[in-house]
Structure 1
Amino acid sequence: MLVMLLFFILLIYLVSKFAWGPVMDMMQKREEYVANEIEAAEKSRAEAEKASKEAVEQLQQTRQEAQQIIEDARNAGVKQEQDIVASAKKEADRIKEAAQEEIQNEKDKAIQALQDQVASLSVLIASKVIEKEISAQDQDKLIEEYIKQVGEEQ
């Protein structure tokens, strides 16, 4: 038993001298490696969360910018529509006024021409009346001819 005890003590001494130090060094290195990996994973997770938040913020900002562009385009379209309608109304009013002026001018010309014809026909009738004395029947005939000529010339 004593011999076993002696061998056991010798075995513990040899294990502690040759195996215990390298095993402990290996365990410490393994512990440091695992700690570094955990720390790296934690940093990666934090960076991923930060990148995700930045991406969400950038996406939201892009959506807002797109919405603003759409709203600006809509407002520009409405303004352009209003400008076109106003321009068309102005043009229609101008054309209407020009047409009314032209109608009035044509009407004045027609009245003037009718007055000239009435005057010439009156002179013609007066000259015929002066040339001969006419009866009531001849007078009615002349008036009917005069009305017929005025009606044809219009």
Structure 2
Amino acid sequence: METLINDFSVGLFFMQAFILLILILLMRKFAWKPILDALQTREDGIKNALDSAEKAKLEMQNLQADNLKLLNDARAEREAMLKEARDMKNKMIDDAKVEAQTQANSIIAQAQAAIESEKKSAMAELKNHVAGLSVDIAEKVVREELANKDKQLALVDSLLAEATLN
């Protein structure tokens, strides 16, 4: 350290200080300014990128909200369509039941009419058959009864007694 103090020269010191000052000015003009400009440009680019990222994030959130709204709308529409389809199915089933009941009632009415017609026809046939048998029996009885005159008079009297005039 003593050697430094002994070798110290004021002229050399000022000369070196002057060269250092010129070097700093040159560096400031040609190196620092472009470096600072480059740093500022980079800082601005990063800031713009962050702003763009923030905008993109907000836009993404808006898109997600829109997508969620569209999804909810689609679900609501699907539910409405399913409800409408269920209602239509139930209406068709009810209409089919009513039509089937109407047809069944019509078939039952036709069957009852046919049964009544067959019953009347069978009763008429039975009456005709019974009438025919009655006439045959009566003819046989009358032949025997009419063979005797006393029996004829007794029969007429009994028939007159049973007969009532309307």
TM-score of the two chains, using structure 2 as the length reference: 0.76
RMSD: 1.4
d(CA) in 1 for partners of 2:86 and 2:68? 27
Counterpart among 37, 44, 52 of residue 40 in structure 1? 52
Deviation at 1:106, TM superposition (A): 0.7
Deviation at 1:130, TM superposition (A): 2.2
Which residue is 1:6 aligned to? 18
Deviations 1:16-56 (A, max 9, x none): 12112211221221122112111211121121111111110
Whether 1:25 aligns to 2:37 is yes
Which residue is 2:72 aligned to? 60
d(CA) in 2 for partners of 1:108 and 1:132? 35
Which residue is 1:101 aligned to? 113
Counterpart among 136, 144, 148 of residue 124 in structure 1? 136
Whether 1:88 aligns to 2:100 is yes
d(CA) in 2 for partners of 1:107 and 1:18? 130
- Indicate the percent of aligned positions where both proteins have the same amino acid: 33
Structure 1 portions without partners, runs of 5+: 135-154
Deviation at 1:119, TM superposition (A): 1.4
d(CA) in 2 for partners of 1:129 and 1:13? 167
Counterpart among 88, 92, 96 of residue 76 in structure 1? 88
d(CA) in 2 for partners of 1:34 and 1:130? 139
| Aligned amino acid, residue 123 of structure 2 | I
Report the structure number with the largest CA radius of gyration. Answer: 2
Matched length: 134
> Could you say which structure has the greater relative contact order, defined with CA pairs below 8 angstroms and 6 or more residues apart?
1
d(CA) in 1 for partners of 2:83 and 2:127? 65
d(CA) in 2 for partners of 1:126 and 1:28? 142
Secondary structure of 1:12 counterpart: helix
